[in-house]
Amino acid sequence: PYFSWTPSQPPQRLVPGKTLLMAVWAACIGGTFQYGYNVSIINAPTKAVQTFINETWSERYGDEIPEQLLTFLWSSIVSIFTIGGLIGASVGGTLAIRFGRKGTLLFNNSFALLAALLMGMSYYASAFELLILGRFLSGVNAGVGICVQPLYLGEIAPRALRGAMAMGTSIFITGGILTGQVMGLTELLGKEGYWPLLLSTTCIPALLQLLILPWFPESPRYLLIDRGDDSACNLALKQLHGGENYHGEREDMERERASATGVKPLKPWELFTDKTLRWPLFTIITISIAQQLNGINAIYFYAEYVFAEAGIPFEKIPYATVGTGACECLTALTCGLLIDSLGRRVLIIGGYLLMSLWCICFTITLTFQTYSSWMPYLSMACVFAFILSFGLGPGGVTNILITELFTQTARPAAYMIGGSVNWLSFFFIGMVFPFIVYCFLVFLVVCCLVATFIFFVVPETKNKTFLEIQSEFLRRKTTNLTATKGSDPLLSTSL
């Protein structure tokens, strides 16, 4: 399925085999696709679900529900997804160690199936509480999936294709968002009476994964390093990479296994006490926070307003919103094609710098929105440019870096920390969003600071083994300590 090389040979451009591509698809359709789908699908039935809550309340208590209570219940239905995601991310790494990457993904579908059943039955049971519980379980499913699926992808891919294969995470998130936007159109399931069916469609990706993923092997790295099963590892490598082209990957795994001999998988709190993991850990926390606080949520919030100001009829705005989803999906695909040739640093730093530029432009166009008839069209261009820049850089590269900056024993715990920070940041931005949404200068500062941090701290990981990446971080740390030795303490304490 692909051509390999020895360490003395220059890397060649590889093409993934059909089995590897299908394994990525099978993992992603019930993994991060569910995250994107559940984030976007809740927008279409907003008014219909609020009407259902009001009618249910009237049937129970003989009076209309107070407006503030209705807003609170609807907000609970939307935001409980974040709480479920935080819990899912907190336990995902532990499940991946105990049951394996593939086993955890298969087990995780039980949350999605139960959530779909509860949300679909809520209308017929006249119980809006089932919607809250269903959304919570959907969040748990998404949290586990966004933690474990990148683990699986990063461990089944050959070194030279690790970036492209791991991009499946972002491609399927954006694909899920786009699919949810399309399914919510009135021509499909966006009509008022169809909302129970729309919310229960989350069972379809889960069923597809349960049918397809069992045909593909467990992560070879997990089988060899965590389980010590040499024969199962060889069979998995042959199935994924071909019978003649897996030896180079096996040698990399053997070196990593040797370095991990006698070391048990680390717990999340143990990563904070390991000085050798300080910079990688600080890096994933920084980029996970930035992924939520870089302004992408504000751009999506402003999209409908900008489209309306540009003269797009109200009933046509959902189609323009679908265009934003398609835009991000296409850039994720483009990032997947470029990431193993340009490298991670170029894409993520360039993405953040471009987003900084569009923050400035968008602030100007919003300020002078009413001064000229063509200014709303510039605002619309800024929306699409910002989304393109996000999808081409931070949206695609962040999850890959979390995979690559850690070795086998620390990686599950790193994903638990990164995922938890991401969901907490998601919750935080939802709380403070009304207060900062009008100030894109805040997002400008975030984007500039993160781009600067990555430029000075994060090494290029393209075409490197996990041990080589770890050594590069240690080398940089040693270099920094050497450079600051003997200097003014006041100047060196910040490092």
244-258, 279-293, 322-336: which has the minimum mean pLDDT?
244-258
* Mean pLDDT of all residues in 310-337: 84
pLDDT in tens, 10-54: 444 467 788 999 999 999 999 999 999 998 888 888 889 999 999
- In this prediction, residue 222 carries a pLDDT of 92
- Which pLDDT score is estimated for 450? 94
Q: What pLDDT is recorded for position 480? A: 54
Q: For 444-493, write each residue's pLDDT tens digit.
A: 899 999 999 999 988 888 888 888 888 877 776 656 545 544 444 333 33
Residues 407, 471: contact at Cβ < 8 Å?
Answer: no
Confidence label for 133 from pLDDT (cuts 50, 70 and 90): very high
Residue 320: per-residue pLDDT = 84
Share above pLDDT 90 across residues of the chain, in percent, rounded to a whole number:
36
- Give residue-wise pLDDT tens across range 223-258: 998 888 899 999 999 888 877 777 777 888 888 888
- What is the spatial distance between Cα 360 and Cα 358, in angstroms, rounded to a whole number? 5
CA 479, chain centre distance (Å): 33
Tell me the average pLDDT across 277-286. Answer: 90
More confident residue, 306 or 267: 267
How confident is the model at residue 282, as a pLDDT? 92
Mean of per-residue pLDDT scores for the chain: 84
Contact between 379 and 309 under an 8 Å Cβ cutoff? The reply is yes
Could you give the CA distance from residue 26 to residue 397 in angstroms, rounded to a whole number? Answer: 21
Segment 65-85 shows an average pLDDT of: 88
Question: What are the angstrom distances between the C-alpha of 151 and each of 15, 147, 402?
Answer: 21, 7, 9
**Angle of CA points 481, 482, 486, to nearest 5°:** 95
Joined together, the tokens standing for residue 331 give 């850039």
Neighbours of 41 (CB within 10 A): 23
448 in Cβ contact with 104 (< 8 Å) = no
Residue 391: which pLDDT band, with cuts at 50, 70 and 90? confident
Of residues 436 and 16, the one with the higher pLDDT is 16
End-to-end Cα spacing for the chain: 45
Q: What is the pLDDT of residue 15?
A: 74
> For residue 387, which of 323, 453, 310, 312 has the smallest C-alpha distance?
323
pLDDT digits (tens, 9 = 90+) for 141-180: 999 999 999 999 988 988 888 888 888 888 999 999 999 9
**What pLDDT score was predicted for residue 262?**
72
Which residues are CB-contacts of 386 (< 8 A; sequence separation ≥ 6)? 295, 296, 299, 355, 358, 359, 362
pLDDT at 431: 66
- The pLDDT value given to residue 8: 39
Instruction: Retrieve residue 362's tokens.
Output: 């968008």
Listed residue (439, 419, 269) closest to 360, CA to CA = 439
Binning pLDDT at 50, 70 and 90, where does residue 213 land? very high
Residues 322-340: what's their mean pLDDT?
Answer: 87
**3-class secondary-structure state, position 63:** coil
Lowest-confidence segment of 57-71, 149-163, 176-190, 363-377 by average pLDDT:
363-377
More confident residue, 12 or 429: 429
In angstroms, the CA 23 to CA 102 distance is: 10
Q: The tokens of 188 are what?
A: 């499909």
